[in-house]
A = this chain, B = another copy of it.
Amino acid sequence: MINKRFYHAIIYFLCNSMNTNRNANFLKLSEGFLPALSVDIVIFGFHQNELKILLLELNGHENWGLPGGFVLQEEHLHDAAKRVLKERTGLTDIFLEQFYIFGDPDRNQSNNRAAQLEKQIVDDAYAKEVREWFLKRFVTVGFYALVEYTMVDPKQDFLSLKCEWCDINAFPSLVLDHREIVEKALQTLRQNINFQPIGINLLPKEFTMPELQHLYETILGRALDRRNFQKRILAYNIVSRLPQKRTGGAYKAPYLYAFNEATYQQALQNGLKNTW
């Protein structure tokens, strides 16, 4: 039966996080993970001048959701986010930052994964364990990640049917309060764009100035002046022009640029702008 296999898949998957073989040594989820706390990750990517987020279609649902998971008993919160990211997308070593904690007691109630689970057949210990776990209230910590689009192999993971990049302006309806989480992540990204040099994580190593500008325009949601944009970015000293141009495209070949790691890191710390 599909439902039973689904529960087993969850247990298997989650217990894998705990480095435990479920068949050999079944542990209670509540013993392996911190109770009541989860992490959800908004993964931003940029492709064809569109800002995208990576969403999973969850098994047994028609709904989509953010990649998320739980925190191991002795695991740093940030490491939990890194692990979840790796488990569910294969990504490692990418920019990842917490941006908000969502603590509404009703966030698990409406439009609800637990309610969905409840409807399903519960016929063994694993299923019972999963059901009880997901029926609990969770406070979730929102992280956002910036990744280069091409780095992701959107293979499906244990818990999902599909894993897909969705345009930030047209993504499907999401489970729980995940839409709110995405909105808040986007808002945080917009706020940070003026003070942090966004880009090194979202673009390939070599990129053109128009590409960088499109990234900014997409995040900010409006057009910018080409000439002023270039002047500004160059003034920050965070990019260097490479000797080659991007040939092969139509029209005039644009110069290639690369981020200047040293000044980029410095800018990350000091910020690009200050007032007062």
Residues of A within 8 A of B (CB): 34-37, 71, 73-78, 80, 98, 100-105, 137, 139, 141, 193-194, 216, 220, 224, 273-276
Contact in complex: A103, B74 (CB < 8 Å): no
Beta-carbon contact of A34 and B137 below 8 Å: yes
In the complex, which of the residues B71, B100, B102, B276 contacts A139, with contact meaning CB atoms closer than 8 Å? B71
Copies of chain A in the complex: 2
Closest CB in chain B relative to A84 CB, distance in Å? 13
Main secondary structure on chain A at its contact with chain B? Answer: mixed
Contact B103 A76 (CB under 8 A): yes
Q: A76-B104, A98-B101 are in contact. List 18 more A-B contacts (CB 8 A).
A: A34-B137, A35-B35, A36-B36, A37-B37, A37-B139, A71-B139, A73-B105, A73-B137, A77-B104, A80-B103, A101-B101, A101-B141, A103-B141, A194-B274, A194-B276, A220-B276, A224-B276, A273-B275
**In the complex the two chains form, what is the Cα distance from A22 to B4 in whole Å?**
43
The residues of B that contact A98 with a CB separation of less than 8 Å are 100-101
CB distance from A201 to the nearest CB of B (A): 19
Closest to A75 in B: B105
CA distance A194 to B224 in the complex (A): 24
